[in-house]
Amino acid sequence: MTINNERDLECMKRAGQVVAHTLRMLQSAAQPGVTPAELDRMAGELFARHGAFSAPRAEYGAPVNVFISVNDDIVHGLPTHRPLAAGDVVCLDVTPNVGGYVADAALTVAVPPVSPVASRLIACAEAAFAQAMKVARAGRPLNGIGRAIETEVRRRGFTLLRELQGHGVGRAIHEKPDVPNFYHPALKKPLHEGLVIAVEPMVSSGRSGRVRTLRDGWTLSTTDGGMAAHFEHTVMITRGAPLILTA
């Protein structure tokens, strides 16, 4: 989606606010003994209060309101009835449709007490996103985002999950362009003002960097059992710093 009028901007901001509110609630509620299924129910109730609904459910038939991925599960995790336990690493991925506009964001939290590796892993995903924001400018090449992410992940000693990537978003969950999390030399096309994309580094404490789909047909997991962290925001490209719509 490209935003070129005030109405689209305000509608995307509203969708982003629902995402941010949901993530804050889920982050606070992700405590020992709480199940991902309970978190999913809470998200559905919040969506309903804001006139929103699950975009993955509407577009792809996902049997959930939000995706919740635990430990070695990376993304698209189906919320289970297994209570969260101390030390679990939990990715919360929220993508509502609000009045025909879709915003997408994710963060990863660790259930206390947090291990040093989990803490560094989560910080790595967030830092990679922050580095990407420094180069996500109108007129700069799309592949600069992937270069910045890849460089930061490598610097911090973790493994980039290269099979997974960001994407355009706005009227649907997945729109053009694809936004790889690594440097792709062919993707030289410049970013343009108003372009809305989801930038989402996904990293692992393992070494293989490979991804597998579990039997539920949805959950993507690391192949080597490495913990995964995911950090994502929906952003609008400008000539200066991107506007983070889901902040």
**175 annotated binding-site participant:** no
**232 annotated binding-site participant:** yes
Of 233, 238, 234, 101, nearest in space to 170 by CA? 101
List Cβ neighbours of 88 (8 Å cut-off, separation of 6 or more).
70, 71, 110, 111
What's the rounded Cα separation, in Å, for the pair 177 and 146?
Answer: 13
**21 annotated binding-site participant:** no
CB 125 within 8 A of CB 231: yes
**178 annotated binding-site participant:** no
**59 annotated binding-site participant:** no
What's the rounded Cα separation, in Å, for the pair 245 and 76?
Answer: 22
Three-class HEC string of 49-61 = HCCEEEHHHHHHC
**81 annotated binding-site participant:** no
Annotated binding-site residues for substrate read: 76, 174
Annotated binding-site residues read: 76, 93, 104, 167, 174, 200, 232
Annotated binding-site residues for a divalent metal cation read: 93, 104, 167, 200, 232
